[in-house]
Structure 1
Amino acid sequence: MTLSAPFALVRYRSGGEVVLGLAAGERVRPIGPRELGASGLNAFLAGPDWDRLAALAAADGPWVPIGTVTLTAPVEPRQVLQTGANYRAHVIQLVASGLSTKTDASPEEARERAARLMDERRATGEPYFFIGLPACVVGDDVPLVLPAASDTHDWELELAVVIGREAFHVSREEALGHIAGYTIVNDISTREFTFRKDMEEIGSDWYRSKNSPGFLPTGPYLVPAPYVDGAALDIRLELNGEVKQDANTSDLLFDIPALISAASLTAPLLPGDLLLTGSPAGNGQYWRRFLADGDVMTGTIAGLGTQTVRCVAEPTGAER
């Protein structure tokens, strides 16, 4: 799926450097502080003047075909905030599986109970957040190296909010005014490391399971918020051409304003930061199929384009 907005921000490789660019249709051009009216990407996102870039997208300039450049991650976040257990169907799928194996309930009874739990959580609960490392944010131009320490590496295609104006203690009603745009992120997870085996009471270990190099493939576009309805976007991930995730953001337990408002109660969300909204159903853990050398993941979110991530095994021993 191609970009549907009239323009978007990108970053691409040029002469050994990464250049900020403006993509419009099938072409791209570099943009610097003079064109942005700001010192850099995050400074622009703090108060984005999309009309300025719309005029630039319609003007002559040093345009080149977008197929002649190598796009990389379109953002430079200082913070990455991730949301867990936020798609109703996904959580019901996981909870029902646990209930059906740990109780005498039938699969149908387990699903019904899980659905009631999720509806109650949506009505009275709070979003669940954890932190990712900005260093893991890469473009899909970088192959995903699968660490040799495990063979349980999983995919989680997600809609990511790109923060604009700083958000701290904002209400749900104010939240949308703090969004600069949206992008695609595939939140890679090593399932084997999600829960500590040496001390189960500690619980989840998101640091080890989600922060290996390149575990947040991002982009290729940063699409301005005025051109995106984050509440109703189709999300689809294919593994080697086979559909594994197929959902819509309307299934979010906590919508985007609720996520921003809740996250901002603890710490300021800064211009350019990423807020991942959660993974829909259809992860490798469900399919009992994890990532392997040579796999190709194609992730598409309506209006935001498509990212293609190629998996390679980590070199070991003499291969290094």
Structure 2
Amino acid sequence: MNDRVASLEDLAAKHGDSMLASASTVLELLENWDASRVALEHLASRIPVQDVDWQELSELRTHPAIDLPRQIFCTGANYRKHVVDLTVDAKVGPEGMNDAQLRQWAENMLDERVTRGEPYAFTKPVSAVSGAFDPLVLPDTTTQPDWELELAVVIGRGGYQISRDNALDHVAGYTIVNDISARDLIPRTDYKMLGTDWLRSKGQPGFLPLGPYFVPSAFVPDPHRMKMRLTVSGQVMQDETTADMLFGIERQIEYISRYSRLLPGDIICTGSPAGNGTHYNRFLREGDVMEAEIEGLGRQRQVCTGARHG
């Protein structure tokens, strides 16, 4: 509350809730989320705000909001303006088109994709996760470290082959992620038929700042109408809303769970809006400060540092 936090363990013990008092991580709460949510709501209703021992968030070490996720799924190329910009910037499309024609061609292509196509998803290693205020160590393996502010869906009820009509019943809540990406490491130049390499480009340590808060879905009125904003050293780079998603959260859950069983504690990174470093030809440098926020979910802040070894 207002960047102040309280110990759930202490509050639960004080008010006799043994289930909540025994949970040492958010992941433990998510593994039995239906019961945890009811217990949390009941506990909150019994505690006067003035009786809470609040601590300033700035005085504490902030760990990842989900510690640690069980599986991490990422939906790529999922914001309309972002994909259109990529198409125009890379001059991908029929030969001879000017930028305006390419833009219209991309818009038409995306309309067709939403109608007849499917989301594009991949996984990211859990070892990439870091705290919302941890320094971002820029590895010496890349010269093009880039940002991708994203809304992350937190799964509270597992399932396989979930229908889109029931998809949101499986969502416990939401948090912020920044899907850091090494742009120069995405294509495999040694054997082009391999295509993209998401492990080396997105899986390095610290490449997924997560948090600072996990916000239950009851406190997010509409996840498809949330403002998003990211700055790099004071300059606004991304400024959009989640309404620009091509495939909504229900479609993403339906698609991912068609091929993989979702587990409590999984997160789904739902795509990044326009304004990545690739568009500006401006990548992260040592000393940069990134600040990323999504309406109702708080704000991240990372200082970029040089590579460390050992």
Task: Tell me the TM-score normalized by structure 2.
Answer: 0.89
Question: Aligned partners of 1:234 and 1:156: how far apart in 2?
Answer: 15
* Contact 1:80–1:132 under 8 Å retained in 2: yes
Structure 1 position 246 matched with structure 2 position 231: no
- The structure in which a higher percent of residues are helix is 2
How much identity, in percent, do the aligned residues show?
43
Name the counterpart of 1:14. Answer: none
The residue identity in structure 2 corresponding to 1:237 is L
Question: Is 1:64–2:39 an aligned residue pair?
Answer: no
What residue ranges of structure 2 are gaps of 5+ in the alignment? 10-16
Specify the alignment match of 2:6 in structure 1.
29
SS at match of 1:71: coil
Choose which of 284, 296, 303 in structure 2 pairs with 1:291: 284
Write the mapping of 1:193-204 to structure 2, written as runs, cut at 5 A: 193-204=185-196
SS in 2 for 1:151: coil
Give per-residue Cα distances to partners, 1:13-39, cap 9 Å, x unaligned.
xxxxxxxxxxx3443222248252774
Compute the displacement of 1:141 (Å). Answer: 3.0
Alignment-derived partner of residue 39 in structure 2 = 52
4+ residue runs of structure 1 moved beyond 6 angstroms? none
TM-aligned CA deviation for residue 100 of structure 1: 6.2
Q: Give the counterpart letter for 2:133 in structure 1.
A: D
Contact 2:133–2:300 under 8 Å retained in 1: no
Matched, 1:81 2:67: no
What is the DSSP-based 3-state SS (H/G/I as helix, E as strand, rest coil) of the residue aligned with 2:6?
strand
Distance in 2 between residues matched to 1:184 and 1:235, nearest whole Å:
10
Secondary structure of 2:127's partner? helix
- Contact persistence 1:43–1:271 (CA under 8 A): no
Letter in 2 for 1:64: Q
For the residues of structure 1 that align with 2:197 and 2:212, how far apart are their CA atoms?
A: 29
Contact 1:80–1:133 (CA<8 Å) still a contact in 2? yes
After superposition, where does 1:81-160 map in structure 2 within 5 Å?
81-99=73-91, 103-160=95-152
Tell me how far 1:101 sits from its aligned partner. Answer: 8.2
State yes or no: 1:272 paired with 2:254.
no
SS class of match (2:200) = helix
1:72 counterpart SS class: coil
Distance of 1:233 and 1:156 partners within structure 2: 16
| CA shift digits 1:278-300 (9 cap, x unpaired) | 11110000000000000000001
CA contact (8 A) 2:8 2:21 kept: no
Counterpart residue identity of residue 70, structure 1: R
CA RMSD between the two structures: 1.9
Matched, 1:41 2:26: yes
Aligned residue in 1 for 2:12: none
> Aligned to 2:259, what secondary structure does the other structure show?
coil
Cα distance change on mapping 1:221 and 1:199 into 2, 3 Å: same
Amino acid of the residue matched to residue 242 of structure 1? Q
Query: Is the 1:100–1:106 Cα contact (8 Å) retained in structure 2?
Result: no
Contact 1:97 1:110 in 2 (8 A): no
Partner of 1:263: 256
Preserved contact between residue 161 and residue 275 of structure 1 (Cα < 8 Å): yes
Structure 1 residue runs of 5 or longer lacking an equivalent are 1-23
User: Structure 2 CA distance, aligned partners of 1:101 and 1:312?
Assistant: 38
The reply on whether 1:231 has 2:217 as its aligned counterpart is no
| 1:191 and 2:200 aligned | no
Instruction: Letter of the 1:28 partner, please give it.
Output: V
Native 8 Å contact 1:173 1:257 kept in 2: yes
* Aligned counterpart, 2:298: 305
Q: CA deviation at 1:241?
A: 0.9
Deviation of residue 168 (structure 1)? 1.2
Cα distance in 1 for partners of 2:27, 2:245 equals 28
Q: Return the structure number with greater strand share.
A: 1
Q: Secondary structure in 2 aligned to 1:265?
A: helix
Deviations 1:37-70, CA, capped at 9 Å, x for gaps: 7745324223244343244345134433333322
Distance 1:154 1:187 in 2: 9
**What is the number of residues matched between the two proteins?**
294
- Checking the alignment, whether the CA contact within 8 Å between 2:181 and 2:207 is kept in structure 1 is yes
Tell me the CA shift for residue 246 of structure 1: 0.8
